[in-house]
Chains A and B, each alone.
Chain A
Amino acid sequence: MAEAAAAPQVFTRRASGLVRVMSPYSAFIYNVLTMGIIFPWTYVWAPTALEGSNLILGIVFAFVFELPIALAYVWLATSLPRSGGDYVFQSRVFGGGFGFTVVFAFFVVWILQWVALSGWLLATLGIAPTFIGLGVTTGIGAFTDIGTWAAGTTGIIVISIVNALAALVLLVTGFRNYVRFQYVMWYAILISFGIVLLLFLLNDPASATAKLDTFAGEVNGVQGFFETARAAAAEAGVNFDPPFWLLGTLLVAPIAWTSLQWATYSSEQGGEIKNANVFRSQVFIIVGSLTLTAGLLILLAVAMQKGIGDEGILVASSGYWYGVAEATIGGNIMFPNLMAMGLTGSWIVVLLIGIGFILNSFQIVCNCYIGTTRIMVAQGLDGLLPDWFARVHPRWKTPVNAHIAYFLAALPVIWGFNMIGEWTRWTLGVTFANGAVMTLSALAAALLPYRARKVYEASPGAAYTVGSVPLVTIVGLLGFVFGSFMVGSFLFREELGLAYTGDAVPYYIVLGTAVFGLLVYFVMRQVRASAGLKVEYAFREIPPE
């Protein structure tokens, strides 16, 4: 019925209108930055965890698997363009108890781990390599000392807390402050990423190895760094000539997905995005950011293969997966940025790379706050968290209470993450938990036309069908299947997550968070019932007839 031919214009009258703050372009940038293009775990995780896998093909698989999930979110975000994203989608389709429990437990609670992780990233991938790189390129020992301190436990904890506090101050004093600063982060990160790419592309394995030897020699005080690291990696079990492994390549996808899955994160603040209910806008924001980021990740993989070769990638990966100490520089895992710093002799280039990484780390902690506080506000307004969480500061117009609560909740997680040796093993469920939310939202999208019919019918996506089947049902089901494969991999493959430790503790912790979410739901339900109210009213659709 919809077509491109000319048609009469609508008549309007003088009536008030709704205007939103975040442009689709800002939301697009937000998603790209959330995916952390410069924190590509894939390159240090997959090569040795899944020997014989093809990195580039694995990233392509991740893109293909995420695509229907991203499209499903386009329908959800245009149908329900409001803050609280996944919580709103799932509570509307599955009901409040399910939607609250899943999103509160697997997003709000588990993303606390990301606050700690972003501090760790800032310290070990941002500040430490930058100062170590500056120390080497300028010959100033104090820089190297700062870099070494930043990579130590005390340094990481201090930096993590300052990182979380700085983000808190920036965000509570006005969301527009963040949006403005995001442009600074965007350009700095693009420059940084571009330089890393160029440095790899301008080198070959022979020249890169020699440069890394010199760089690591300055930092570690060792000679023949690369050969030593290679030998240690081989001793740890790394096969430097593995045969191609198709299943391993498929299993690279869940790893790359830990980045690409965040293409949908802008939907958490759908109420603040201009034209959030316009289909084309959401395609640009969600699918566009996914495509760009996947392309950049592939480009980096190509550049790394050109620059340091498969052997260099395996050596770098052994420092992460096997914990080969000889394959680290100044105690730091050889993430692409650190290697790129080793490939240049210019302190300015080191600084430009470092600033990008520092800002992206900071941006990630901002994401944690922005997404989860919007969810908490939505849950507070629905009566599933105390009203206190939903209050908006009259002057700053931001959910200050939710922000402060999240900061305080993050402090013990930061401490545990860095001080408790077993913490990382206990919390291997983070990838599963976050992925499960998105997979279930894809299912919610598939069921949207049947479980929230009026909402769906009023949305622009209702125009797209295949025969009599809504297109969203098809992409949603596809997304659910692909997402299930990936979260299932996190559950059962020892290379990818919960099964790594070989014991049940990580599973119990995932289960424990779900039980905690359910407990909060039932307590709040009881509290509301004591005033004669039902929290179910917050989600249940009234029949119009």
Chain B
Amino acid sequence: MPLFSKKAKEKATRLFYACDIHGSEPTYRKFLNAAKFYDVDALVFGGDLMGKLLIPMVREAGGTWRARLQGQNHHITSEEQLAEFKRTMQTLGFYWQEMDPEEYASYEGQQDRIDDLFDVLAKERLAEWVTLAEERLADTPVNVYLCGGNDDTDEVLSALDETTTERVVNAENRAVPLDDEHELLTIGYSTPTPWETPRERTDEEIAEVIEKLMPSVSDPAKTVFNFHCPPLDSGLDTCLKLDASVWPPKPVIERGQPVHYGAGSQAVADALANHQPTVGLHGHIHESRGATKYGRTPAFNPGSEYGEGVLRGLIVAIRGGEVLGHQFTSG
């Protein structure tokens, strides 16, 4: 080896991480385009794919529709207005269903039927998204790693297994290779929330899942933890404490003021501290964007603003089990 030459450093792997897009079409499209835009090697999604609202568009005589969106009533009378209305709903991550007044009335008080309709529409959208990812990433070496979060139902997530793909990796509850030296371990559950969402687990159950999956990892130090739920009291999990005894839950007020608390998982915090992975990637609490550290391991939550069509994300450069640098993004 020449005396003064530097050993050529191996190329770092650059990940782009985002989460909590909740059905927002433009945000998802941005997520896919992030591969080229940010020149990264892999796209990692951290859960919560499904939208939260479904807008019934009630047909009226004369080919017009009535609907309610963002607290305003809309009377849609032309094709242009209809297209614009649908674009807005796509941006906001809402689903919509055209229906007759009788059909709309038949849903009144039928939450199970409404949930089923959500599942059908969300699964359709997710299947479309998988296909879109294949198209967009076809000529690239970039894989997209998808998983669910606490807000996604198992029925909808089954779309990830039902679609055969080259570029889309179903990362849910498993360890998968990320590059030649790193693996990605993904868990989409969260601790119980006041919203009683579909995929909540107790801290003990989350700890059990983590420990069950850890043996499948070759080297914990060269593993990226993609855990939807952030670590407890980390600053990545700060939100208002809510009273779950009423629906919808309301903020807990003490001495006239709302109470903040950490809504994360102790099991996740313990896993980061004990296993010291390369990095912890988290989401779930949209308003708690930030970074923290567990020993050598940095942990991040990029937050979410999907409703405004903004893709909050994070670029992480890793090499040899180390984070070389990170950059929060807002695209």
Residues of A within 8 A of B (CB): 1-21, 79-82, 92, 174, 176, 179-180, 183, 271, 277-278, 381-383, 387, 390-395, 397, 454-455, 457-460, 463, 528, 530-535, 537-545
CB within 8 Å of A: which B315-331 residues: 315, 317, 324-331
A13 to B111, CA, bound (A): 8
B33 to chain A, nearest CB (A): 5
- Contacts A16-B150, A21-B260, A533-B315 given; indicate if A1 touches B76 (C-beta within 8 A): yes
Flag if A7 contacts B73 (CB, 8 Å). Answer: yes
Residues of B within 8 A of A (CB): 12, 14, 22, 25-27, 29-30, 33-34, 37-38, 50, 52-58, 66-77, 81, 84-85, 87-88, 91-92, 94, 104, 107, 114-115, 117-118, 150-151, 193, 195-198, 233-235, 238-240, 242, 248-249, 251, 255-260, 262, 284, 286-292, 305, 307-311, 315, 317, 324-331
Residue from B27, B87, B331 with most neighbouring chain A CB atoms (10 Å):
B331
Residue in A13, A92, A530 whose beta carbon sits within 8 Å of that of B114 in the complex: A13
Flag if B195 contacts A392 (CB, 8 Å). Answer: no
Flag if A6 contacts B239 (CB, 8 Å). Answer: no
B contact patch SS: mixed
Residue of A nearest to B37 (CB): A542
A492 to B219, CA, bound (A): 66
Task: Name the A residues within 8 Å of B92 (CB-CB).
Answer: 458
Q: A383-B328, A458-B92 are in contact. List 13 more A-B contacts (CB 8 A).
A: A1-B74, A8-B57, A11-B56, A14-B197, A15-B151, A19-B251, A176-B259, A278-B71, A392-B238, A455-B308, A460-B72, A533-B317, A538-B328
Flag if B255 contacts A180 (CB, 8 Å). Answer: yes
Flag if A537 contacts B315 (CB, 8 Å). Answer: yes
Task: Name the A residues within 8 Å of B258 (CB-CB).
Answer: 19, 21, 176
Task: Name the A residues within 8 Å of B309 (CB-CB).
Answer: 454-455, 457-458, 544
Flag if A457 contacts B73 (CB, 8 Å). Answer: no
Task: Name the B residues within 8 Å of A15 (CB-CB).
Answer: 22, 50, 52, 151, 195, 197
Task: Name the A residues within 8 Å of B193 (CB-CB).
Answer: 16
B248 to chain A, nearest CB (A): 7
B206 to chain A, nearest CB (A): 16
A contact patch SS: loop
Flag if A1 contacts B257 (CB, 8 Å). Answer: no
Residue in A18, A92, A458, A540 whose beta carbon sits within 8 Å of that of B88 in the complex: A458
Residue from A5, A21, A544 with most neighbouring chain B CB atoms (10 Å):
A544
Residue in B52, B235, B329, B330 whose beta carbon sits within 8 Å of that of A394 in the complex: B235
Flag if B331 contacts A532 (CB, 8 Å). Answer: no
Residue in B71, B75, B81, B196 whose beta carbon sits within 8 Å of that of A14 in the complex: B196
A534 to B37, CA, bound (A): 12
Residue of B nearest to A462 (CB): B88
